[in-house]
Structures are given as structure tokens and as C-alpha cells.
Amino acid sequence: MSDWQPIETAPKMKIVLLWAATDIDAYGSITNWKMETGYWSEFYNSWAWPQRIASYDVPPTHWMPLPDPPTMEHKT
């Protein structure tokens, strides 16, 4: 698994894990974070993610590749 990286380094046209800040207090501290999967949209020339965080004002700031899916061991 890779470390979190700045969103500017995210590969385009691949599924990535995104974080988006949703609330910033009067002192500039982030008080609430949302995590969601998303992708680069060629159509909009921007990052796209599900509607539940699309309305927040702060765009994604970091990304990480999704982990490989789990595998099933077959017992014989």
C-alpha cells in the first residue's frame, strides 16, 4: 500500500482513493474529513466522485491507490 500523496500527483483516468475537507473552523483547522473513491473525468476536465460529497466546497487534497481486493483460499 502506498502513502498518501498530493492530489496533483494522482494518475488521471484511474480509480483512486480521495479525501476531501468538508469543514474548516474560524482558525483554518479542518474539523471534518470525508473519504471517497473517485476518478478523473475527461468530459469535465476535473475529479469526479459520488454525489454525497460533490456539493462540498473543498476539492480533494490527497490520494492513495485502492488496495487489491481480498482473495479466497480454497481448502482441498
Is residue 72 domain-resident?
no
Distance CA 35, CA 26 (A): 22
- Name the domain count of the chain: 1
**pLDDT > 70? residue 71:** yes
Domain that holds residue 41: 5-64
Is residue 73 domain-resident?
no
Could you tell me the end-to-end alpha-carbon distance of the chain, in angstroms, rounded to an integer? 30
Is residue 25 domain-resident?
yes
Is residue 74 domain-resident?
no
Is residue 75 domain-resident?
no
Q: What is the pLDDT of residues 7-60, one digit of tens each?
A: 889 888 777 776 666 677 888 887 777 777 778 888 888 887 766 555 555 677
Q: Which residue has the higher pLDDT, 2 or 64?
A: 64
**Residue with C-alpha cell 498518501?**
4
What pLDDT was estimated at residue 58?
64
What pLDDT was estimated at residue 1?
45
